[in-house]
Chain A
Amino acid sequence: MAQVSFDAVTKRFGHTTAVDELTLDVADGELLVLLGSSGCGKTTALRLVAGLEEVTAGTVSIGERVVNEVDPKDRDVAMVFQSYALYPHLTVGKNIEFPLRQRGVSKDERMARVAKAADTLGLSELLGRKPAQLSGGQRQRVALARAIVREPTVFLMDEPLSNLDAALRVQTRADIVELQSRLRTTTLYVTHDQVEAMTMGHRIAVMSDGKLQQVATPEHLYALPANAFVAHFLGSPGMNLVEGLLVDSGAPGTLCFAFPGASVPLPTEVADAVRGSGPDVVLGLRPEALQLSPEGSISATVVIVELLGAETHVICHTETGARLIVRQVASAAKPALGEAVRIAVDPDPRSYHLFDSSTGDRLGSAA
């Protein structure tokens, strides 16, 4: 069993709390992504699993074993650093071989495993070179080869793609996913890039300020974000979030979301779920759930029109100054700058996300 567990793990550096009561389980064979912006604690959490930092409180377990007191070299984890951390004075072959030498593996066995790892990552031609002579993508593959050659219990990856250029990144992303699903090694993957997270992770754990915000599959996170932070973080462009009031609309049993210039009727399922919550709420609407239409329930002015080729983003300001981004297909009529428009919301109840205006938590049914 190669499960990784955080149990109320806290890490403090002096007065700063980097990781705050993190409780999270990574299932055996899963690729779990730790997602968040810089300083949210994701890299620290990773280093706690590696043993490069010491836990202040709580326990970290690998398999059945609590590893708080265990030295990194005895934890059977392999790590790919953001900067690859290749040993500059050793050749590629020796770099890959290094972890095996420390474990007293026989020379023949070592050579065989190095050859196999190099072959898996297409490095067989480069074994005699030094890291300084390699391109960024090649160095990255050497780092990966060094990690897989040991066949460890856990892979730890710290933003391994962020130093690559865009095209290479897309390619390598797919390679890593393919590699992981073949090897079935439990993997903890840290990134700030939500596209990477969405495309690579079996599940994503979103972190902010050292705290876990939500952990779920990419689809679930996208469709049912647990709080406003997660709602806005995922999605490009992020979800629109508007402050307003829940008011009774004319018909009995129905609710409206209102702010100056807008009165958005809420579908019955949504209204039923949030009935009883305080009048101040935040409504979240994804850009693809909005449409410019003369019958729309929100009045706004067009401020910017961004042409992206396959689609268009129309950025509007409401009467209150709130910003709404509307996603249109390229063929739809483009509005003029400064034009007064009305925005309609998709009637599908799943398009509506309501959050508590003070805590940011999702209102209504459990996420």
Chain B
Amino acid sequence: MRDGAPGADHRGTLRGRRRHEWAVAYMLLVPALLLFAVFSFYPFFRNFKLMLYETPPVPGVPAHYVGLHQIIPTITSTQFTQSLVTTLVFVVLVVPISLLAGLALAVAAHRKLKGMAVYRMIFSSTVVSSVAVASVVFGTLLNPVVGLLPWLGINPSPPALESSTWALPSVAVITIWQFLGLSFIIMTAGLQSVPDELLEAARIDGAGSWTRFWRMTVPLLSPTIFFGVVVSTIYAFQAFGAVDILIGPTNTVRLHTNVLIYNIVNTLQISNNAGAAAIMATVLFLILLGLTILQMRFLERRVSYAR
């Protein structure tokens, strides 16, 4: 705890000086705390209030109080459960592939060969891509007329983004590509934290490169891998933009790409039901909170590892 503040306080008494310090501290914190209160905590708690009001699907009719009765129907509604399932499928598609790809590239780029800096720059570059850019880029690639697929001889009918089986995986590919940069950066940082001396010792002890990788690098990398899993899962759960850009309201396969947030936004804007949206948002929050707590628990246990 930092004691003593730089500051000639001519107020004389120790008590006065301390009070002065408190005042300064609170003043410094006001901007941030005020913003947090208004835009983070108030909305969070207000969700619980919103959940108690239902807006009927009839336009113009205001919301009326229904207490807790809205919660169960919303959670068990097919629309919600199905969007939950869709999102889970999406997560399962995105997380392992993007982490493995990031790991593979990080390992490949970890050598002391010439030109590594360039490759590292290339592999981390997707971290700056936005969801909109990635969607536009891949949307074009998947376009039935001008895209990549016809050139490769694949002419799916209906086109990828309108096919009930392929629409979600296509969106997943976009997300994987976009997340690749971050995955690479995280894995590279993890690899750098494995001490060279350990691998040298293993080498002298007779371990070949394959053994060194699986028995040394991967176990020591497990905290990083776990961190990557949590970050990418949270990221995948929050998928929205790609769906919004590429799957329009007229798209027949909307149901198959109805990820959670997309569902929430639609419920809010189209069905105008803030209450239901709030309920779904809270469920999402609980899922994300659970994941984060899991991560902290797991990492606590593993911290005793590398020292």
Contact = CB atoms under 8 A, between A and B. Distances in A.
A102 B220 contact: no
Nearest to B197: A85
A52 to B, nearest CB: 5
Of B201, B216, B304, most A-chain CB atoms within 10 Å: B201
Given A73-B204, A98-B205, A132-B305, A89 B197 contact: no
Interface string B188-230: 0000000101101111111110010000100110000000000
Contacts of B208: 73, 102
B220 A88 contact: yes
B305 A83 contact: no
Interface string A102-136: 11000000000000000000000000001010000
Contact of B203 (A52, A88, A89, A146): A52
Interface stretch (A10-18, A23-31, A74-82, A270-278): A74-82
A186 to B, nearest CB: 16
Contact of A102 (B200, B205, B219, B305): B205
Interface in A179-201: none
Interface residues of B, number: 20
Nearest to B206: A102
B46 interface: no
Contacts of A103: 206
A98 B202 contact: yes
Nearest to B211: A102
A335 interface: no
Q: Which of B200, B305, B306 has the most CB of A within 10 A?
A: B200
Interface band, chain A: 20 to 34
Q: At the interface, is chain A mostly helix, strand, loop or mixed?
A: loop
B111 interface: no
A367 B220 CA distance: 52
Most buried by A among B198, B205, B304, B306: B205
Given A87-B216, A88-B306, A132-B307, A99 B203 contact: no
Given A85-B197, A87-B216, A50 B204 contact: yes
B198 A85 contact: yes
A183 to B, nearest CB: 18
A72 interface: yes
Contacts of B202: 87, 98
B304 A79 contact: no
A102 B219 CA distance: 17
A340 B195 CA distance: 57
Contacts of A83: 195, 197
A73 B195 CA distance: 19
A338 to B, nearest CB: 44
A86 to B, nearest CB: 8
Contacts of A88: 198, 220, 305-307
B307 A85 contact: no
Interface in B258-307: 304-307
Given A89-B220, A98-B202, A81 B197 contact: yes
A81 B307 contact: no
Contacts of B306: 88
Interface string A9-53: 000000000000000000000000000000000000000001110
Interface in A130-163: 130, 132, 146, 150
B201 A81 contact: yes
Q: Which of B202, B204, B307 has the most chain A CB atoms closer than 10 A to its own CB?
A: B204
A77 B204 contact: yes
Contacts of A87: 198, 201-202, 216
A73 B199 CA distance: 12
A15 B207 CA distance: 32
Contacts of A50: 200, 204
Contacts of A79: 200-201, 204
Among B203, B206, B304, which residue has the most Cβ atoms of chain A within 10 A?
B206
A281 to B, nearest CB: 46
Nearest to A98: B205
A81 B203 CA distance: 13
Contacts of A99: 205-206
A300 to B, nearest CB: 49
7 contacts: A72-B200, A79-B204, A83-B195, A85-B198, A85-B200, A87-B198, A88-B306
Interface of B: 195, 197-198, 200-208, 211, 216, 219-220, 304-307
Given A52-B200, A83-B197, A102-B206, 8 more contacts: A50-B204, A72-B203, A81-B197, A88-B198, A98-B205, A130-B304, A146-B205, A150-B205
